[in-house]
A and B are shown apart, each in its own frame.
Chain A
Amino acid sequence: MAARTAFMQGNEAILEGALHAGARFFAGYPITPSSEIAELASTRLPARGGVYLQMEDEMASMGAVIGASAAGAPAFTATSGPGFSLMQENLGLAAMAEVPCVVVNVQRSGPSTGLATRPGQADVMQARWGTHGDHPSLVFAPASAQECFDLTVEAFIWAERLRTPVIGRADVVVGHLRELVALPDPEDGRALASRPRPQGPPDDYCTYRPGPDGVPPLADFGSPYIVHLNGSMHDERGYPSADPAQAGRLIQRLVAKVQARVGEMVAVRHFRHDPPEGAPPRPAVLYVAYGSTARAAREAALMLAEKGVPARLLQLKRLWPFPDSEVEAAALEAGLTVVPEMNLGQVVLEVERVVGKRRPVWSCAKSNGEPITPDEILARTLEVVGA
């Protein structure tokens, strides 16, 4: 139930979501367009006994987030492209050492400094593969201020539950978009995001002995359960190990513990827009879109239906693990799929992988620092529908 509503920015909603989920620590480095999150964290966290740290760079920010989380505080950071690149190093540490944390990337136009205040969505593959080595990746992408709140809560829940880093991947348009957001009663958020805790005699505790769901219980630094976190290949005790069988099992488990739970996670949202009554039946066009681009695609779908073409939108709220089955089902139901995105074509590759040769998949790519518009999506659609 909504305890109150407020007209707020996506970035503010991200902070509210983090607080609702129980965040107690933020470390970051100022960067446009995510700075509002840090600014709000700097007052709201200490007001509830938490800590805001402004670090010397994004490598340190991720390091501090990992340290704070290991000491028991649900922790997060927020950044944009250039900072997200620097965070890749310690994102790998969080994945390997299994330290829960949330990283928000309010994407801007790249590469490099790019266009600091202009939108882009070209960090999709970076969010999946940015840190080196095989690793799990869990990424949510909000398309509204409300989803900024909801998906930040979701990110914390899964970070803590699965002992893994989770990425919230907004973009400038959504981060700076103000809309009405329904905020639940703070009481509803208590214990939403909680990590598995060890039980039994402390001397028997092993930092990396997995529970039945593949997630090892995690104690806090300072607890009688002694914790040995390790970013090097390690055994169940956290001691270094070069045993190939051990290494293979660990890597498999890191990925499997996330994959096993995707059925419980937020994945997609469906929209259907049919032509006015009496229009001749035609195969539907499916849009697969995410972030602010999903909003443009929704408008394009409405316009397309007006023109007599049934239009569907599958909004991806979770980018990684990629919602294969949802995309497959929606794509096979439609005549063709169009994937609009603010990059030269990243998610379209995943859609093609899932759909294969069974249906045509078209890219609608734009990468110039300008948001993709409904009219551009419509024009591209009419082009390929005619083709």
Chain B
Amino acid sequence: MKARDYLIEEAMPLFWCRGCGNGIILHALLRALARLGKSREETVVVTGIGCFGKADDYIRTHSIHGTHGRALAIATGVKAVNPGLTVLALMGDGDCATIGGNHLIHAARRNIGVTAVVANNLNYGMTGGQFSATTPQGARSSTSSFGNPESGFDLCRLAGAAGAALVARATVYHAALLESLLVEAISCPGFSLVEVMSSCPVYYGRYNGIPDPAAMMRWWQESAVPASRYAELAPEEKQGRFPIGRLGGSDRPAFSERYARVQEAAQAGAGRWIQAGTDR
């Protein structure tokens, strides 16, 4: 399969705005699937609601376009009953980190074998550029004209602390890195999260002085630092910069591996309450 084989071409042109980073993420994802040789039938794309939640419109694998924030919960049910499937949850920062934040930490804790791909454009694009749970403190948005009084999540640290098997970050400027991180994440048996810093020149850029798509790309190029180098930066050098690459994860058995043992124990009748009070 080639990347193009996963694409629903009749759905073109893309719905996303000119300069939006989501098309770059979509393309990298399709290339990663092709590199891994995933068949359409073994792959399930779950989306929530938001700009990147429209990604399933263009993907020719199995898919479910769900509800805002619940993509990971839906993906968890899919993977739990059929661990052989490759399950991808495609979300934005509003979807995954804000309304769906609870599902994110629990999916990571549960270590369910789902790959979360988060297009983090630092605001709600589809609803008009309001601030989200990843919008930096002080940044302007359509609902923070005086500067965001709240701080944004570091999604990778959040998912890592919650127990994800693999967490990684790229930007839409670093498309080759993104593709290889996606390959790594999809191959990981436990919960993996790839955060992709994505451009929203129409809202985030315009409200924060970088309305030009090319300028946004330069911004990603300048502020993203490979993880190994980032660790060596002095605290003042870290200001306005963030690490990219594989950022962590814990080596634990995936949920499905552990649940298979629950099934074995239950089938052996080891459960204390098996059929309690029902069989005569």
Contact = CB atoms under 8 A, between A and B. Distances in A.
The answer to whether any beta carbons of A and B sit under 8 Å apart in the complex is: yes
Interface of A: 4-6, 8, 12, 16, 24-25, 27, 39-40, 43-51, 53, 55-57, 59-73, 75, 89-90, 92-93, 97, 220-224, 226-232, 238-240
Nearest to A56: B106
A64 B63 contact: no
Nearest to A232: B65
15 contacts: A44-B275, A46-B267, A51-B259, A53-B76, A53-B80, A57-B102, A59-B70, A59-B73, A67-B76, A71-B77, A89-B67, A97-B64, A222-B62, A222-B82, A229-B64
Interface stretch (B40-48, B116-124, B163-171): B40-48
A224 B63 contact: no
Given A63-B74, A68-B80, A90-B67, A43 B278 contact: no
B149 interface: no
A231 B65 contact: yes
Nearest to B75: A67
Interface of B: 8, 11, 40-42, 44, 46, 54, 56-57, 60-67, 69-70, 72-82, 84-85, 102-103, 106, 259, 262-263, 265-267, 269, 271, 273-275, 277-280
A222 B42 contact: yes
Given A47-B266, A53-B76, A224-B41, 11 more contacts: A5-B280, A40-B273, A46-B263, A46-B265, A56-B106, A63-B70, A67-B46, A67-B75, A67-B76, A71-B85, A228-B64
A276 B259 CA distance: 62
Nearest to A59: B70
A71 B73 contact: no
A232 to B, nearest CB: 6
Nearest to A67: B77
A98 to B, nearest CB: 11
Contacts of A56: 102-103, 106
A4 B279 contact: yes
B264 to A, nearest CB: 9
A336 B259 CA distance: 57
A69 B262 CA distance: 21
A230 B81 contact: no
Given A56-B102, A60-B73, A71-B82, A49 B273 contact: no
A97 B67 CA distance: 11
Contacts of B65: 97, 228-232, 240
Contacts of A49: 263, 267
B7 to A, nearest CB: 13
Nearest to B265: A46
B159 to A, nearest CB: 15
A63 B278 contact: no
Contacts of A230: 64-65
A352 to B, nearest CB: 35
Contact of B81 (A43, A73, A228, A232): A73
Contacts of A221: 44, 62, 78, 82, 85
Contacts of B79: 67
B127 to A, nearest CB: 15
B277 A12 contact: yes
Given A6-B278, A60-B70, A60-B106, A226 B62 contact: yes
Given A47-B266, A226-B61, A66 B279 contact: no
A68 B112 CA distance: 13
A145 to B, nearest CB: 12
Nearest to A60: B73
B78 A68 contact: yes
Contacts of A39: 273
A180 to B, nearest CB: 10
A226 B41 CA distance: 6
Contacts of B106: 55-56, 60
A47 B46 contact: no
A231 B277 contact: no
A50 B78 CA distance: 13
A49 B69 CA distance: 29
Contacts of A231: 64-67
Nearest to B255: A53
A67 B73 contact: yes
A224 B60 CA distance: 12
B82 A4 contact: no
B267 A25 contact: no
A229 B41 CA distance: 14
Contacts of B269: 47
Given A6-B278, A53-B80, A67-B78, A226 B271 contact: no
A45 B76 CA distance: 17
A63 B62 CA distance: 17
Nearest to A55: B73
Given A47-B267, A66-B66, A221-B82, A226 B73 contact: no
Contacts of B277: 6, 8, 12
A373 B85 CA distance: 53
A64 B262 contact: no
B278 A239 contact: no
Contacts of B271: 43, 47
Nearest to B78: A67
A213 to B, nearest CB: 23
A4 B62 contact: no
A223 B263 CA distance: 24
Nearest to B262: A46
A43 B266 contact: yes
A222 B63 CA distance: 10
Contacts of B76: 53, 55, 60, 63-64, 67
A166 B265 CA distance: 32
Contacts of A64: 73-74, 76-77, 80
Nearest to A229: B64
Contacts of A59: 69-70, 73
Nearest to A68: B77
A264 to B, nearest CB: 29
